């Protein structure tokens, strides 16, 4: 799964990197500990225009009775996108990219009481392009104001990632951004072929402090490497860890 990530790159730089044509006025604060049910930057196409805008993390299907449904839909398994009613329509029509600087994953180490968090990023320091789906919810009567939401697609881990977890977000290379975002592309076999683990050589990971377990901690120090034997065991923060 993917339950926490870093989003600290300024929106103008994100827009330039992803070829965005329009950027929403709303600006999110840099955050080194982004958690579900908050707004996250999303690259999507609407009306033929590529946009960067904050969207609620936790997909709320158009048929949902209330927003709480989204709390269970922060991730979508690639294996069931074409089957589950919550994801089938957005997979066909509303695909997006969630741009991040890196993400966290937790690993249960033998003999340790708490899971050890790791920070994963690209070896070249470039932004990661998470494959995502977005949807519009208008309330239980389907007549209210538009409420956009997003989920991150996950798949099997690559060899490097498998050392700490069996799944990871799907990362899209630049040559797949255009067809993935294009709402006129409906070839699910083609789109499904994009959903493969990123090459192991693309990513690097390092152990970080358990301070990241607490969503109230949001500073850049969270991505600093710590020795495995000296990782901070923050007893009060563990409840928030994925």
Give the model's confidence band at 239: pLDDT under 50 very low, under 70 low, under 90 confident, else very high.
very low
Are the CB atoms for 119 and 100 separated by under 8 Å?
no
Domain count, the chain: 1
H/E stretch holding 11 reads: helix 11-17
For residue 111, what pLDDT is reported? Answer: 79
CATH number for position 83: 3.90.1680.10
The pLDDT tens digits of the residues spanning 64-120 come to 999 999 999 999 999 999 999 999 999 999 999 999 999 999 998 887 788 999 999
Q: Is the model's pTM score more than 0.75?
A: yes
Containing domain of residue 134, as a range?
5-240
For residue 109, what pLDDT is reported? Answer: 82
Query: How far is CA 81 from each of CA 75, 87, 137, 151, 188, rounded to the nearest angstrom?
Result: 11, 5, 19, 11, 10
What is the spatial distance between Cα 65 and Cα 137, in angstroms, rounded to a whole number? 10
Active site residues: 2, 105
Backbone angles phi, psi at 179, to 5 degrees: -65, -30
């Amino acid at each position: 799964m993917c339950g926490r990530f870093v989003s600290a790159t300024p929106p103008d730089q994100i827009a330039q990197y992803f070829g965005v044509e329009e950027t929403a006025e709303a600006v999110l604060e840099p955050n080194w500990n982004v958690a579900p049910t908050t707004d996250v930057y999303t690259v999507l196409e609407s009306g033929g225009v590529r946009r960067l805008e904050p969207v609620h993390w936790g997909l709320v299907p158009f048929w949902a009775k209330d927003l709480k449904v989204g709390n269970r839909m922060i991730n979508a398994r690639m294996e069931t996108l074409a089957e589950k009613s919550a994801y089938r329509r957005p997979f066909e029509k509303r695909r997006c990219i969630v741009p991040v600087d890196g993400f966290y994953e937790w690993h249960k180490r033998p003999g340790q009481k708490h899971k050890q968090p790791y920070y994963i990023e690209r070896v070249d320091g470039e932004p990661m392009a998470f494959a995502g789906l977005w949807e519009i919810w208008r309330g239980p009567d389907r007549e209210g104001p538009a409420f956009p939401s997003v989920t991150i697609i996950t798949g099997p881990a690559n060899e490097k990632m498998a050392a700490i977890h069996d799944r990871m977000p799907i990362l899209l290379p630049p040559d797949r951004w255009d067809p993935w975002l294009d709402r006129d592309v409906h070839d699910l076999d083609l789109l499904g072929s994009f959903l493969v683990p990123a090459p192991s050589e693309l990513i690097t990971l390092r152990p970080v402090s358990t301070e990241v377990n607490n969503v109230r901690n949001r500073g850049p120090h969270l991505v600093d490497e710590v020795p495995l034997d000296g990782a901070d065991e923050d007893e009060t923060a563990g409840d928030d860890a994925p």
